[in-house]
Each structure stands twice: as structure tokens, then as C-alpha cells.
Chains A and B, each alone.
Chain A
Amino acid sequence: MRDRRTGNGFKVADTSATKSNGAKFVRKETNKPDTLKSEPVKSNKRTAPAEEESEDELEDFGDVDIDIESDDDEEIQEGDVDDSDGDIDEFPEENEKDQDENTLVGEEGEEEEEEEESDDYMAGDSLDEEDWNEEVKTSEKKDSDKPDRLPEIEADYDSDSSTEDVENTVGKVPMEWYDDFPHIGYDIDGKRVLRPAKGDELEKFLSTMDDPDSWRSVAVDKEGKDVVLNDEELDIIRRLQGGDIPDAAYDPYEPTIEWFSSKKEVMPLSAAPEPKSRFIPSKWEAKKIMKIVRAIRTGRIVPRKPASEKPRFYNLWGDDEQPREDHIMQVPAPKMKLPDHDESYNPPEEYLPTEEEIKEWEELDPEDRPKNYLPQKFNSLRQVPAYNRFIQERFERCLDLYLAPRVRKNRLNIDPDSLIPKLPSPKDLQPFPTQQSISYEGHTGRIRCFSLDPVGLYMVSGSDDNTVKLWEISTGRCLKTWKFDSVIHSVAWNPNRELCVFAVSVGHGNVILIAPPRIGSPEQTTLTDQYFQQGYAAMSTAGDDKDAKNPIPWVKPSEEDQENLGYRVQLSHTQAVKQITWHRKGDYFATVAPDAKNLAVLIHQITKYQSQAPFRKLKGLVQRVMFHPIKPLFFVATQLYVRVYNLMKQELLKTLQSGVKWISSLDVHPGGDNVIVGSYDKRLCWFDLDLSSRPYKTLRYHSQAIRQVTFHKRYPLFASSSDDGSIQIFHGMVYNDLLQNPLIVPVKILRGHSVVSSLGVLDIEFHPTQPWILSSGADHTLRLWT
């Protein structure tokens, strides 16, 4: 059996096929309009039920069939019986009318029908076939009628329930919600539908006993009453229980009918004639093809022409080559580095690396290696293997070419010696000290200071071993030793040639003026004695008020000391005196006690036995002071600056900005216009006072702090000593012409002092008349360089 829906569609064809005569059928159809015209509308309606009737019968028969599940024979018989019954019951009149119609309209039709029947019988080859056909027919009919028939059943049902018009409208909600209420929902008017009264269990039981349909009745919650299932529904339930397809009409094992098979049918499935276009070649296609053909013929299109006939290479650079002008931004790629001897397969043996070198090379990162290969030696070319990094090296070269920034770098191809400034040869600048000639030994501590007498015969030196020694310069003999109870900070010989006096700073602020006994000519000794007596006289005449004016006491030493040691006068400062410096005339001397605040710098006058503090207040820590060799000027060097004061006018003249971090030493050129400053940060600054307050030249050549700088009094020489144990001698020529800059030429480095606990040469001083220099060091020696 076929699907219901398709069934309708094929009905016509089927019938035509089975009934074998299409024309008849057509005519039958043509009859119908006639009937419509002649009869009222009803009749038309009737015809349909008429058909239905017969089908109804069949349906019933089907039902029975299902119910009983009996043999086919029985079915047919019973169906037949039902048929007649139904017909008679339902539409007796109509039937008659139909008959009337048939009789009236077409006798021919009847006849033909008969004929048809007879034909059928005649033609029927076998009973089976007919049976089958019939079955098909019936089932089809039944199928098609089903929708029409169902309302009828419902009509029955409706008629049953038409009395109660109550309909529950709660929808699809769980009915247990209404369990506690007397109603079970609402009807269409919104009124409660009351729960139908239920009897007790006995009543129920009795009713089941009474009612023969009780076994097939089901309680419906919504309506609150029982519904009796009809046969169909029961059948469905039964099938579901049995695991069958619920639709009894469906046959899962229907034989397939291959409509579109390889077998060629005599008759077409579709009666539509073949379109003409299928037989005629396309005009448009022909046109298109002809267009191409014509193009090919005329040569406009060349099929499968070779890719290019042009030669791949030609003379790219014609005769009109124009070289590109150089541009600063165009940097040509550097060429590859050409191989060195050690890249040879058979290099000289000295190029072969030792095992340590190989190890070192291997430990380096590949980027850091100076060369990317290790020299190797092979006895013959045959043994040389393939170089395993060849491709990588080419690749790296490629990367360099397109990823490495190119910079034009001018390689300085200059002789380094040409950078050294052309200076006059030191040989032309002689004399200057060149070598050590005498070493004065005797001190047992580092010699912090020494001083030469103005003539240049004697020298006093003060040391950390608490002694001051007097030396004869030319022989190196120690003439006298003064023993003190603390460290000697400074000694300074009076520059007055007529006197023979030097000052010594001892320990915590004692400054003693000593006229060494039995040294110097008798005139000198008498003059010196007179000098100091004059001073005492002046002090006594001045009296108490003068005494009060003195910031520090002048004390007369004992007779014994005066006699034996030559002490003349003793000044006691509040703080340790680090430096003593004399005025050129020898009457004044200045002391520096850096920690003594406003009394750090004192100027003492011997003739009056008087001290004065020239500065009410001092800025910074005073390192050195110095009298100007000619003018009444006074230089005060603090850590960073050198200040120049006019002592007469009592004003600040100039501040020299050294640019160093900590000034250690200071000296003034005998001409008075140039100053050199040494610093603990290894620098030496030359100031030209006429030029600027900034250094004319700053030199840095010592490897350690500069301790002392000094000018020669007569020769154009200056020197610096440092903690690196060297003394540097310079030729420092100052010209009278103001337009000419001073000439500074280094001429000699004197090395000899050894460095002891990172202290080297502590003090130097030029000989007053000779081009000699004396030095004292931390190695307990004094040396004379000539």
C-alpha cells in the first residue's frame, strides 16, 4: 500500500490503468456537470456521500477486520453484509435519487459500466490479480475517506455530551492543583466547573458491574468523569502494548515499485512532449564558437602560445651608461673579509692553536669568537672535509646585507705619535734637576716638612719622629737635632739673609722660633739677638693693653733652652699649626691652624712680638696661605678657591676658581702674576692672575694626589710632588710680554722615593740659587736632585 497522500494523487492514474479505459472515465466526469446543472446544489452534495457510503462500508469492513483478526474470506463476507446495511440505513432516498439520475441521464453509462464489469471479468486472467486490485481500491478508498468519517464518530460522541455544555478551560495544568477545591476548573464563561459528584467505592463498584463498558472506560481528570474508549483507540493501545506500529493501516513490508528503472517503458511517465531545443544545436553557442574560431583564423588568439619569446637576458647596460653620482646616504655593502693565512688547509704550523686556545675558543660564545673557525692542518687536499657551516655563513652574510644598518665610518689612519704635541725638547730647556745626588738619612719617621736657609747652605727638616734636624746641604751631614715631644708639622726658614732663624710648628699649636746656635756668621748671630731683644722690649713697653690685643701669648723660653737649643720665642696656638710661611722681608710670618675657626690664619710680627688675626670670619677650611712676593697681597687657599686679599686696603681682590675638589698646595711665581695650585684630586692648575680667575691650564698627570707644588726663585722651573712617589719638573717660562702666554713644558720625571702606606713625596723645595730640588718623603729620607 502507498502513502495516503500520494495515494490521492495516483488515484486517477491507477484507475485508468486498472480500468483500462480512460475515455469512459472522462465521459463519466463530463456527466457530472450536467447533473449539477439540472439538480439543486444538494444533489451535488449527495453524490459525495454516495461515494462515501460505499467507502464507509469498506471502512467498517476494515474495522471488523481489525477487530476480529480473522481470515480474509470472512472479512469480505461480513463487509458485504455491512455494506448493504449501511447503505440502506443512512441514505435510502439519496440512493434512489442516484439511481434515478443514472437511469435518467445516461443509460449508456450504465450499460457501459456493465460492459466494463463484464470486461473486467473477461479480461481477468486470474482471481488473485483481481483480488489484489480490489484490495488496493478498497484500501485507497478507506484512506481517502478517513478525514470525512471521523467527524461522524465525534458527532456521536458530541450528541452524547451535548447535554452538558460545561467545558473546562484551565488548559494544560496539573490537575492535582485542584485537588483541594470543590471545582476542577472554569468554563468558558468563567464559572467554576464543579467536580462531578462521585459516589463511594461501593457505588463505583456497582457501576462497574452494571456497565458493560466499564473495562474500556478511562477517568479524565479535566472533566472529572470517565470516557469510554472506542474500538480504534483500544486497538491503538493494544498495538502499542505489543510493540507494533500503532497505525493498523501501515504496512512496513510494502513491495517497492520502481517507476524509474533501467527497463524502458513503452509509455512515458509524463505525457509532455520533448522540447524542441533538445533536438536543435544552440545558435548562441555556435555564434560564440565562431567568434573564437574567427579570432584564431585571423591570428588574434594564439592557442597555447609559448610563455615568452623574448630572451631572458639582453644587453641591459647599453652604450649610454651613466654612472650614479655618489650620495652621502648611499653606502655600498662592505665586501667579504678575505681569508687569512690561518684559513688555509695547510697553514704554517705556528697558526695552529694549542689545546688551551682550542678550549678557550670553544668556551666563548659563537658571537664573541674573533674568528668563526679553528685553523686546521691537513696533509693533502684529498683529506679536507666539507665545511659544515658553509650555508650558515652564506646565510649570515645575506642577513648582514639586508638587516644590518650600514654606517660610513672614517677610520682614523693616523700615526699616534702625531697626536703628541710638538714641544721644545727638554734638552734645550736645561738646566733642571735630572738625577738624585744626595740622600739625607737620619730621620726615623716620615718627613713632613723641610726648609732651606735663604743662602742655600743649610736645611732644617721636621719629621714624625718628633725631631727637627739641621743638615748641611752640600755634604748631607746632620749638624744638629732638636728633640720635641710631639710631631713636627711645619718648619720655615726666615728669608732674611741677615738673620739666621727658623720657625717650627710642634704638636698642638706650639710655634717656636729657633736661632740655631753656632750656625751662621757672627754678624748674623748678633743681629738675630738684637732682633729678638728689640721684640721683647717692644712687648714690655706695650704693656698689658697690648697683651690683651694679642690673640695668642708670646712666651719667652728658659735661659737654658735659649743657650743650648737656640729657642728665641714660643707662640702657643689653640690648634695645631699646619703651615708657617714668611713674608719676603722676614719680619712677618703667617701661621695656618685650619681647625681654629676665626683664628685659623694669624700674622705675626717679630719686631713687635705681636700677632693679629686678619680675618674676622673665614669662609671654608683654610689649606694654605702665601704672601705675595712683591705686593702687599695675601693668598688664602681654602678647599675650592684661592682668595687674594690686599692687606693694606683690607679687601678681597680676587677669587680664583680652581675647579678642583680639594686644594692641597699653593705657590706664587716670583714675578707675582702666576699662581700654581696642586690638589688632592691629582690636578695642577696654573693661574694667570692678569688673564682670568679660572685656570689657564689644568694638567692631570700624577696618578695620586699632589702634595706640594713649588716655583724656583730664579730659574723658570716649577715642580709638583705626589703620593705616587714621583716629582714632576716643568719648565714654566713667564714672559714679560703680556700678550704671550706662559710656556709650560714638562721636562723631567724624578722617581726615587718609595711609597710608604700610600704616601709618597710629602714636600719639595727648589734650591734658592742652584737648579736643584730637594724632596722629603714618607720613606724617612730627604733627597737632593741635581
Chain B
Amino acid sequence: MAKIHKKGKSGAAINYVTRNQALKKLQVSLADFRRLCILKGIYPRDPRNKKKANKGSTAPTTFYYHKDIQYLLHEPVLHKFREYKAFAKKLAKVMAKGQYSTAKSLEENNKPVYTLDHIVKERYPTFVDALRDLDDALSMLFLFATMPVTEKISREVVEDCQRLTAEFQIYIMKSRSLRKVFFSIKGIYYQAEIKGQTITWIVPYQFAQAVPTDVDFRVMLTFLEFYRTLVGFINFRLFSEINVVYPPKLDLIKYEGAAGFNALILEAMHRQAPGSEKEVEAEVAETQKEVSAEDAARMKASEQRLKTLGSKLAELQGSADTDRPDEVMEEETEEAALDEFKAAAPTNAEVDGDDSMVTLSQIHAASTEVQKLQNLFSRCVVYLSRETPRYALEFIIRSFGGQVSWDETVSSDAPFPENDERITHQICDRPKQGHRFLSRTYVQPQWIADSINSHNLAISDNYAPGAMLPPHLSPFVEAKEGDYVPSAEVEEVEEEFEGETEDINPDDVDDLDEEEVDSADEDEEDEEVTAAAPKKVKTDEHEAELQAEAAGIAFSEYEKEAAPKKTTSKKTAAGKKRTAKEIEEEEAKELASIMMSNKQKKLYTKIKYSQNKKSEEVAKLEKKKQDLAKAKSGANKRSKK
């Protein structure tokens, strides 16, 4: 006899625990439990069958995965929470007695301190895992870096956020890993690519944040606590990968002068052995900074003997020469990339033959594309007028290889003044410019984002100060079939209008009627052509039909096969006949749908419903666009008259 399975002893009944059960098991308060969940990344589950998971009850409850809770039992942070509770009691007692010195020593010596290092490692076993989950962390840190210090948000937190974000931005700039920028009404979206992971984050525009009252900052700060740890470790790793000492030192004078991420002093890391990244010797870097150019040359000579460190020296020099660290980096990466391809190409060709060659060329194309993008602004020397968002633009331009300066009033340490002759572009956001230099182009900030998103420097005339800007499109939208693509339509419509205006202006006839008449004429002509064509083909067709019948192919199938040939022959006459064919097809679908099972029918209607909704939206947008275009052309005509 088969084993009797008792109810509630296996499956969903033991896989899930309700929140209250979890609290009871862990012996913590709800607030602590929530903090733990946030830190450990534990989230509620939705069991497939709620009744089975909740002893037959269908009352609305939150379920957690049983094993998640089980693991929490051994969590060191949980023990620290308990210790903290005891500590808080002690402290309260002492404070109530007024023994402030005892309280102070308690605070100094006995306060339980917990770290989240192990949780970061546990949640993200590999570095790439951590990078994958960086979006929320970065958005949160960038938000809190702009938050005002209140009684809930301490100064340390805000400063830490500012520092971490600055460090991350430095890495992005140095590694040139920014890919997309989008100015939205909510803030600026950035997308970077680090180790093949796309990381997207949003930064609010640089305004003082109004702290809302309907937000529970305890929750946000708990998240922030974890994110700070996470981003700190990620920054460490990223910095060590570009051979820069972490944490970078803060130049207090620059920091006071609102230099932003420029206030951090980068120092090259001296490696003793290739494997030991941990051993950071900032002192070595410092001494090398002091070394004069001659010393550097001598050192170069000596270190060339150790061939492996050759490139690193160049890097050290680069960091010593603070003005252009990025350029050196760029050269280095380029060289490396070229080397790789030279080395890889012949071997692959030998082994795999033609197929691999294709992929190789694709890879090469992709990498050159990326490189091109990384050096998009490398020949640009940009000056930011004081009304532009300096930190954002500086970050963007420098991550694409450009050189940036800004107005002295914005912050103190501008690399070059406004009248520098090297300046090629000046970003300004005012309709009128007082003094214009002829040697440079004046553009609006959108030019930068559009250039990046289109991977080419955009035509600057469209972005001149005071000009009506072309629409700024999201680079994150990947148009699928049936989606509305605004940019494509723009061109088509423009072409149409050009044609129309040409036709109409000499004749002074109502444009729409004219167009319709034209199209009708064309149709007729086309039909004549098609009528002539079939006669020639007819005899061939008959033979083919007979052959097909002999081969046992159904007539309809034969027709389908033959159809493309026909359509190619009567390309232009498709208009009306296609509709008839469409009707037929639709009918066939309708008929076939009779034979669908109930389940399939439901699914079919659901899919169709969503498709229809989408196409309706697209149609709505298209109609709006047409209306707008009509209104515009009407206005143009009136102005011409």
C-alpha cells in the first residue's frame, strides 16, 4: 500500500509561513523584522494555492518562504538587534538616573555595532550579481546626496551618500562606461555599462528637495544603510580595477569650493604582485606624485625592465598629471583592444573557417562602435554657462572624453576661463547670449544628450540658443513591431509635406483633394498594367496547377505558394485586392476559431484584446500627429499668403 500522506505535512503547507508565525519564531518585533527583511532582501511570496498554505483559510495574509525565515534565525544582525535592545535599556536606566558620564562610557564601549558586509556577500555571491542589482541603490544614493539634513536624516548619511556617488561617478568617467542619457521631467536618467551589465539610475534635478511628510524615512534609511554598504564595496572593487586607491582622499579646499567629485584626489595603486589587490599602498603613490618629470623618466627607464609594469607606469604618470588622466586611459584601452583583435583574428580563422569570421567582424564592429561612442566628445572642449546644470553636464561630457570648464561663479576650480581659445562648444540655456565668440558653437544642453543617444555629434544648428528644439526622445525605448515610433514618422511626414507644398503652390488648389485625385489616378493606371500582365502568365500557371495536383498538393496551398509570384508581378495593384484577401483571411480565422477549445479561445481573445488596445493607442498617437501636422501646414500656408 502506498504511504498515506497526511494533510498539512508537505508542500505549500510547510513551504510558507505567515508573517505572524515568522515573528513568533524569530522572537522579534515587527519593526525589527521589517528591517531584517530589507537588509536581507527577503520578500513575501504568493503561494499558488493560498488555502493550502494557510490551513484552509482564505483570509488575506502575507506569506514568507519558510526557509528564508529559517535562515534568519542564525543571522548575526538579528543577535545584534537583540543586544542593542538590551543596551538601550541600560542606557535608559543610566540616563534616568542622570549618570551622564556612565552613559557616555556605555555609549563608547558597549554600544553594539553591526556591519552588513556578510549580507552583501550573501546576497550577491559574485561581483556581477551586485552590479546587476545596482539600479535602485544608485538612484537612492543620488537622491539622498541631495537631501537636506533634518532630524531624521543625519549629516553623516548625506555626506556618505555624496561621497559614494562622487566616487562612482569618477569611476564611470575614468572607465568611460556611460552609454545613454535622458533628460526627463522627473530627473536625468543615466545608463552605464559595467562588465556587460547595464545599470540605469535616475538623478533628480539639482534643486533643494522638499522633504515630504507621507514618507516613512525609517524604511528608506534602512534601505539606504544597505545600499551604502553595497555601493561602497562595489566602488572599492571598481577602483581597484582601474588601479586607483580606495577610498580617495578628500581635498577639503576644493570641497568647500563646491567642486563636487573633483574634490576627491585620485592616487594610483602600487601593486606588489598581480594577485594581491588588497595591499593598497597609498604612500607610494604619494611619493610618486612628488617626483618631478625627470625622476619619472628615470623611473620609466628602470621599470621598463620589468616589462609587465610598463603600461601601469604610464597610468601613474597620468594620475600625477592631474589635468588629463582620461586621455591616457583612452589610449591604453585602444591599444589593448587593437592588440586583442590582431591576436584573435588569425587563430579563429584557422580553426573555424568562414562562420567564425562573420561573428568576429560583428564583434569588431560592435567594439569599434562602443569605442567611438566613448570618445564622442574627445575633440570637444566645452564651456558650461552658469545657467546650465554643471555637475550633470560635466559628468556626462567627461565620461565621453570631453574637456569641460565652467563659470567661476558656479564653483571655484574651473580648469580654463571662458575666453580660452581651445573651446569648441559652449553650452548655454538662455535664449540670448551677450558676447559671442565666433570660434565656438553655442548649443543647448539637449545637444549633448541627443548626440550621445544617436552615437554621433548632432547637428548643432537645431540646438542653437533660443531655437525650437527637436523632440528629445527616450533612448531606452526599443521599438517593436506595431509600436509607435515618433522619429520615423517625423521624417515621413516631413517628406510628404514637402511634396504637397510643391504641388500646391503653383496651382492654388485645395491640397487634400488634389492628393486624393492623384492617388486614384495612380490606382487606375496600375490596374491596367496588372490586367495586361496575367495574360502572359496564364498558360504557365495552368501547367503549374496541373503539376501540383499530380503531386497531391492541396489547391489552396498551391495558391499560397503561387501568391508571392503573383504579388511581385502585380506589385502596385495590391490596394483593393489586398483588402478582399484580408477579408477572406479574417473569415478563415473566424471559421477556424470555431474549432478552438474553450481554453484556447479565451487565451486568443485575451491576446487579441491587448493587441487591439495597443494598436488603438498607436492609432490615437498617429491621428494626433496628423492633426498637428495639418494645423501646422495650415498655419504655414496662411502665413505665406
Contacts and interface: CB of A to CB of B under 8 A. Distances in A.
B593 interface: yes
A390 B210 CA distance: 10
A350 B275 CA distance: 57
B383 interface: no
Kindly name the residue among A390, A405, A424 whose own CB sees the greatest number of chain B CB atoms within 10 A.
Answer: A390
A425 B471 contact: no
B63 A315 contact: no
A416 B604 contact: yes
B91 to A, nearest CB: 18
A130 B280 CA distance: 97
Contacts of A537: none
Interface in A404-428: 404-407, 412, 414, 416-417, 419-421, 423-428
Nearest to A397: B136
Nearest to B182: A339
A317 B233 CA distance: 9
A375 B185 CA distance: 8
A634 B622 CA distance: 64
Contacts of A392: 212, 214-215
Interface residues of B, number: 107
Nearest to B278: A315
Contact of A347 (B472, B555, B594, B595): B472
A90 B608 CA distance: 136
Nearest to B427: A381
Interface string A418-455: 01110111111000000000000000000000000000
Contacts of A728: 594
A266 to B, nearest CB: 41
B92 interface: no
Interface string B124-165: 111101101101100110010000000000000000000000
Interface in A222-238: none
A262 B247 CA distance: 65
Contacts of A699: 594-595
Interface string A359-386: 0000000000000010110111110111
Interface stretch (A132-140, A321-329, A541-549): A321-329
Contacts of A417: 589
A405 B63 contact: yes
Contact of A394 (B126, B143, B591): B143
A349 B469 CA distance: 12
Contacts of B210: 386, 388
B246 interface: yes
A382 B215 CA distance: 28
Contacts of B37: 402
Contact of B473 (A348, A394, A401, A416): A348
B260 interface: no
A512 B37 CA distance: 87
A423 B595 CA distance: 9
A299 interface: no
Contact of A420 (B184, B205, B604): B604
A345 interface: yes
Contact of B240 (A315, A322, A376, A425): A315
Contact of A404 (B43, B65, B209, B624): B43
Nearest to B199: A335
A473 B298 CA distance: 114
Given A387-B185, A390-B186, A421 B595 contact: yes
Kindly name the residue among A346, A381, A394, A406 whose own CB sees the greatest number of chain B CB atoms within 10 A.
Answer: A381
A382 B430 contact: yes
Nearest to B478: A338
A348 B486 contact: yes
Contacts of B44: 403-406
Kindly name the residue among A322, A323, A746 whose own CB sees the greatest number of chain B CB atoms within 10 A.
Answer: A746
A336 B132 CA distance: 12
Contact of A746 (B136, B215, B240, B592): B592
Kindly name the residue among A332, A336, A344 whose own CB sees the greatest number of chain B CB atoms within 10 A.
Answer: A344
Interface stretch (B23-31, B216-224, B532-540, B562-570): B216-224
B126 A376 contact: no
Contact of A343 (B246, B247, B388, B474): B474
A398 B223 CA distance: 7
Contacts of A416: 603-604, 607-608, 611
Contacts of A274: none
B594 A701 contact: yes
A315 B474 contact: no
A744 B595 CA distance: 8
A341 interface: yes
Contacts of A378: 185
B600 interface: yes
A397 B117 CA distance: 23
A402 B38 contact: yes
Chain A, interface size: which category?
Answer: 35 or more
B200 interface: yes
Interface in B61-85: 62-63, 65, 67
Contacts of B140: 394, 398
B590 interface: yes
B125 A323 contact: yes
Given A412-B603, A419-B596, A384 B185 contact: yes
Nearest to A343: B184
A345 B185 contact: yes
Contacts of B186: 339, 343, 373, 387, 390, 393
Interface in B609-641: 611, 621-622, 624-625, 628
A509 B555 CA distance: 53
B143 A391 contact: yes
Contacts of B182: 339, 344
B474 A341 contact: yes
A382 B386 CA distance: 11
Contact of A391 (B34, B129, B211, B603): B211
A104 to B, nearest CB: 70
B486 A350 contact: yes
B556 A428 contact: yes
Interface string B191-216: 00000000010001101111110111
A378 B469 CA distance: 10
B429 A381 contact: yes
Contacts of B592: 420-421, 423, 746
Nearest to A393: B186
A405 B223 contact: no
A424 B554 contact: yes
A407 B45 CA distance: 7
A335 B197 CA distance: 13
A749 interface: yes
A319 interface: yes
Contacts of A414: 607
Interface string A123-154: 00000000000000000000000000000000
A425 B556 contact: yes
A380 B232 contact: no
A331 to B, nearest CB: 8
B444 interface: yes
Contacts of B596: 419-421
A37 to B, nearest CB: 63
A341 B595 contact: no
A215 interface: no
B450 to A, nearest CB: 10
A354 to B, nearest CB: 8
A399 interface: yes
A382 B446 CA distance: 11
B221 to A, nearest CB: 10
A333 interface: yes
Contacts of B555: 425, 427-428
B387 interface: yes
Given A380-B469, A381-B183, A381-B389, A314 B278 contact: yes
Given A317-B127, A746-B595, A747-B591, 8 more contacts: A313-B235, A340-B476, A345-B183, A392-B214, A397-B139, A402-B223, A405-B43, A699-B594
7 contacts: A316-B121, A316-B237, A350-B625, A379-B469, A385-B207, A416-B611, A428-B556
